[in-house]
Amino acid sequence: GEDVEQSLFLSVREGDSSVINCTYTDSSSTYLYWYKQEPGAGLQLLTYIFSNMDMKQDQRLTVLLNKKDKHLSLRIADTQTGDSAIYFCARGGGFKTIFGAGTRLFVKA
């Protein structure tokens, strides 16, 4: 995506926390999303945050939004091998969704 950037790889040990980071340049989006892509499958919405929120927690997932720095992060607590996937940051603007390149999360047992 032209204005959504994220690192391409992250490796963590099973049981540790994973933090996937994303930056974007266009601050007009109302919603920001995290999608998960498991091997051989399409993307599925994992969680989202409304742009007037700073944080959203959903079980093991915590999303932090720093609007000033245009920085979005996804924290996965107690990472499991089943969390191994590609995670895409995305921002919504009207009917257009802009995706980052995806962060491949490797979980070592």
Partner 1 sequence: EAQVTQNPRYLITVTGKKLTVTCSQNMNHEYMSWYRQDPGLGLRQIYYSMNVEVTDKGDVPEGYKVSRKEKRNFPLILESPSPNQTSLYFCASRGADRVYGELFFGEGSRLTVL
Could you say whether residue 99 binds partner 1 (CB under 8 A)?
A: yes
Could you say whether residue 106 binds partner 1 (CB under 8 A)?
A: no
* Residue 10 CA to its chain's centroid (Å): 12
CB-facing half-sphere around the CA of 33: CA atoms within 13 A: 16
The one among 45, 55, 78, 108 contacting partner 1 by CB under 8 A: 45
Shortest distance in whole angstroms from residue 108 CB to partner 1: 22
**What is the contact surface with partner 1 in residues (CB under 8 A)?**
1-2, 8, 30-31, 33, 35, 40-45, 48, 88, 92, 94-97, 99-102
